[in-house]
Chains A and B, each alone.
Chain A
Amino acid sequence: MSMNSTSAQFVTSGRMGAYEPIHQMSMWGETFKSNGNLSAPAPIIVEEDVKLNDQSEDTSNGILGPSERYYQEVTTKPADKVQRRLAQNREAARKSRLRKKAYVQQLETSRLKLIQLEQELERARKQGLYVGGGGLDANPLGVSGTANSGIAAFEMEYGHWVEEQNRLICELRTALHAHISDVELRMLVDSGMSHYFDLFRMKATAAKADVFYVMSGMWKTSAERFFLWIGGFRPSELLKVLYDTNIIIDVLGPHLEPLTDQQLLDVYNLRQSCQQAEDALSQGMEKLQQTLAETVAAGQLGEGSYIPQMGTAMEKLEALVSFLNQADHLRQETLQQMSRILTTRQAARGLLAMGEYFQRLWALSSLWATRPREPA
């Protein structure tokens, strides 16, 4: 008989629910042991004793199962007292079940939260954020609580995304040093590109949950946030990195493949177009800031009432989601155009360079966060 299993959580409360007879008897015994009333080893004897001392007992201890009812008939207890006792037991049992249900639900929720926090911690450590300090200061679980399961989900997904990204970069690096076919390399390039597109999709979904969160780049490392532009990297900056360091100059690699004149022209044009598109979006954002400021400031400032302004301002904020989507769209189009201009091998090198560039930013963030500081 498992004396401890079912009653474990109820020992402290001192109450018992009416379960199957076996459990009743085991918990009965437990209660008596903890109460120190009787130390009778055989449960049946204990029950019999309790029935005799019925009036002095707490009603919750009066568990009557089929075996006890038999004894009831034998003894001379009045029927209505028995009925009342039965009803009280049922009530107590019902309440116990409800409490247990609530408790279990609480446990489940806490467990989920714990898993989420652990994953976030893992990811943060991987990226080198100073855990326990300022790195997680915008923990969405802490700040907004249950208001944003969308953001919590995004954080988890992004953690996985980073892991997958590291894996893809490794694979690319290995593939470029080995002698794999162009077909296989093309598949890797496509995977790499798709991975970025996955991120843009994730961001679009998260933006619907909380556009400010995505725009602020709180989910990125600190060094990345320094370069932030409309919730992500600046496509023109990235092109500049590739152009200056890798595609053009990397002639020392095992596969000598400099860009053709046409390719050079196309890359130049892409840099120009990208810059123009960025400027256009930036100017649009400035206009949005301006109109939002005007909307918020409209009417008499200082009177203390501002409900109408809030309504209009809320409408303006919807535009933020559009801007984020358009910026990500620009990032995607730029990547795709780059992939059209370059050969498979060049594109693979480009993706590797890009991936490693971000890894270096992550490392930089980590180094910075853990640098030795002067004692206060």
Chain B
Amino acid sequence: MQHAIPYRTWVPGWTAGEPRPPANVSGEEPIAGAGAVRAMVLENAVVVFGRRGCCMCHVLKRLLLGHGVNPPVFQVDEDGEAAVAEELSKVNTSNHVKKGGGIDINGNESSNKVQFPVVFVGGKVFGGLERVMATHISGELVPILKEAGALWL
């Protein structure tokens, strides 16, 4: 059974009192406003954040679709980029016990700075395309997705 909710029609918890996405949405995908970011991360098993027009996001999406996962892909505007990155980093921090530390994209202990495109799995930062590719090839990705509830098999 596949968890396949088309991202275009799926609306995150906007109605739960979170700020609506900015009005300057010209593309089909909703633009992530900093305030709504936390909700998106927590409410989705898998979610992708990337810059507007980023082709790597496309690659990420294809890879995940191949596993039967159809994550929402949120595009970040240039103006909102810093704010969203900040917000995502905070989400990252709150999930770790260690103060000031965290796991960055490459799995190293470092600052919580987030780089786009970034994938969140199970409410935690997972990494960029490199990590997804590596775990995809090594076979570690599927168990991780299952554990996060993104896959039911």
A267-303 with Cβ < 8 A to chain B: 269-270, 273-274, 276-277, 279-281, 283-285, 287-288, 291
Q: How far is the CA of A96 from the CA of B62 in the complex (A)?
A: 68
Q: How far is the CA of A159 from the CA of B54 in the complex (A)?
A: 36
Report if A337 contacts B (CB, 8 A).
yes
Q: How many residues of A contact B (CB 8 A)?
A: 26
Report if B27 contacts A (CB, 8 A).
no
Which of chain A's residues has its CB closest to B53's CB?
Answer: A291
Report if B129 contacts A (CB, 8 A).
yes
Report if A245 contacts B (CB, 8 A).
no
Report if A330 contacts B (CB, 8 A).
yes
| From A273, A283, A288, A340, contact of B136 by CB (8 A) | A273
Residues of B within 8 A of A277 (CB): 63, 133, 136-137
Interface centre among A277, A279, A285 (most CB of B within 10 A): A277
Contact B137 A337 (CB under 8 A): yes
Residues of B within 8 A of A276 (CB): 63, 66, 136
Count of inter-chain pairs, beta carbons less than 8 A: 60
Residues of B within 8 A of A285 (CB): 55
Contact A279 B130 (CB under 8 A): no
Contact residues on B (Cβ < 8 Å of other chain), bracket: 10 to 19
Report if B56 contacts A (CB, 8 A).
yes
Contact B133 A329 (CB under 8 A): yes
Report if A333 contacts B (CB, 8 A).
yes
Q: What is the 8 Å Cβ interface bit string for chain B, positions 104-131, against chain A (1 contact, 0 not)? A: 0000000000000000000000000110
Contact B66 A280 (CB under 8 A): yes
Q: How far is the CB of B141 from chain A (nearest CB, A)?
A: 9
Q: How far is the CB of A294 from chain B (nearest CB, A)?
A: 10
Residues of A within 8 A of B62 (CB): 279-280, 283-284
Report if A166 contacts B (CB, 8 A).
no
Contact B130 A326 (CB under 8 A): yes
Report if A9 contacts B (CB, 8 A).
no
Contact A334 B137 (CB under 8 A): yes
Residues of A within 8 A of B96 (CB): none
Sorted from nearest, which 6 A-B pairs have the closest CB atoms?
A284-B59, A280-B62, A333-B137, A288-B55, A280-B63, A276-B66
Interface residues of B (CB under 8 A from A): 53-56, 58-60, 62-63, 66, 129-130, 133-134, 136-139
Q: Please name 8 further chain A to chain B contacts, defined as beta carbons within 8 Å, in addition to the given A277-B136, A284-B56, sorted by A numbering.
A: A270-B137, A274-B137, A280-B62, A283-B58, A285-B55, A319-B56, A326-B56, A337-B138
